[in-house]
Amino acid sequence: MGQGVVREWFDILSNEIVNPDYALFTQSADGTTFQPNSNSYVNPDHLNYFRFAGQILGLALNHRQLVNIYFTRSFYEHILGIPVNYQDVASIDPEYAKNLQWILDNDISDLGLELTFSVETDVFGAMEEVPLKPGGGSILVTQNNKAEYVQLVTELRMTRAIQPQINAFLQGFHMFIPPSLIQLFDEYELELLLSGMPEIDVSDWIKNTEYTSGYEREDPVIQWFWEVVEDITQEERVLLLQFVTGSSRVPHGGFANIMGGSGLQNFTIAAVPYTPNLLPTSSTCINMLKLPEYPSKEILKDRLLVALHCGSYGYTMA
């Protein structure tokens, strides 16, 4: 029927796959990515739905069609058969990931934590005790075995809890894409193959931006900034979003749903006094771009692009 219809068909299907009414996938902590819902069995036919979702994504990849979904890094790793690690927990529970990191970084011998190889997990509001290995409830976590504990907790949260869903999804996916072919890629390449570069709606971005420290929407510097954002490439807009928010994706629902450290937090531009060669900086925890009061649009564009191409990843301490 034509490529436009085909693209729309995949777009509509991919949106329905993550429709919360089906309880198949759940959003990550930042609201931009999805992974299988460990409680999807509330739908008795959920594994058939996961198999179908796998078929749709395999079919899309086979026909070089992009889908309108971004998954968590760990789910791409599951598709590729790559083991997850504790850092992947941050996508679904940042605080829990910090706790695991703390356990690895510190001597827990005399802290009296009394952790065992058994954890409580929430199942529709009810807490259930789940052993990490046979007899885990009676095995204490020590300095010597804490790395094993962290890995088993990670596997429980990121793999064991959703293993049937992963298996069903892969059954469908592999009908079109053999494992030997998909394993040629890493998780970042797979994301680009399936979903491409995220589309960014600049008008929605402008509509949901706040200004502080002296800036107003009508100020020349702000108008230059948005003109530059309109002029730069889609890839550079993604870098700008990464630079300011720490994420390369816009949440479902647009910029109005961007999350900060303590809930919804609009993209914000703050004024900074200008000095020659000063680059823009950002505070990703509050989605704030600290934009110097540049004397011209040309200087603003030059300094912004230097910051984006040289510093869109990583952080420093303020």
Q: Is the pLDDT of residue 262 over 70?
A: no
Q: Is the pLDDT of residue 316 over 60?
A: no
Q: Is the model more confident about 222 or about 115?
A: 222
Enumerate domains of the chain plus CATH numbers: 3-82+161-195 (3.90.1750.10), 86-158 (3.30.2160.10), 202-312 (3.30.2410.10)
Question: What average pLDDT does this structure show over 133-162?
Answer: 84
Q: Is the pLDDT of residue 1 over 60?
A: no
Query: Residue 83 corresponds to which tokens in the numbers above?
Result: 């083991």
Measured distance CA(295)–CA(87) in Å, rounded: 42
Measured distance CA(206)–CA(99) in Å, rounded: 37
Least confident of 9-23, 130-144, 152-166, 250-264: 250-264
C-beta of residue 198 within 8 angstroms of C-beta of residue 70: yes
Q: Is the pLDDT of residue 171 over 60?
A: yes
* Statement: the pTM of the whole predicted model exceeds 0.85: no
Measured distance CA(65)–CA(176) in Å, rounded: 13
Query: Residue 244 corresponds to which tokens in the numbers above?
Result: 């300011």
Question: What average pLDDT does this structure show over 113-138?
Answer: 76
Least confident of 3-7, 62-66, 80-84, 139-143: 3-7
Least confident of 122-136, 192-206, 266-280: 122-136
What does the mean pLDDT of the chain come to? 84
Measured distance CA(154)–CA(126) in Å, rounded: 21
27: number of Cβ within 10 Å: 18
Please say if 310 is a catalytic residue.
no
Measured distance CA(101)–CA(149) in Å, rounded: 12
Query: pLDDT tens-digit profile of 13-46?
Result: 888 999 989 999 988 876 778 989 988 988 899 9
C-beta of residue 279 within 8 angstroms of C-beta of residue 307: yes
pLDDT band at 313 (very low <50, low <70, confident <90, very high): very low
Burial class (CB in 10 A: 0-12, 13-18, 19+), 174: middle
Query: Residue 204 corresponds to which tokens in the numbers above?
Result: 């929605």
Q: Find the catalytic residue in 285, 286, 299, 305.
A: 285
DSSP letters of 60-94? HHHTT---S--B-HHHHHHHHTPPP-GGGGGGT-H
Q: Which residue has the tokens 């950002």?
A: 282
- Cα dihedral 236, 238, 244, 247, rounded to 10, equals -150
12: number of Cβ within 10 Å: 11
Bridge-based pairing state of the strands 118-123 and 259-260: unpaired
185: number of Cβ within 10 Å: 15
Burial class (CB in 10 A: 0-12, 13-18, 19+), 102: exposed
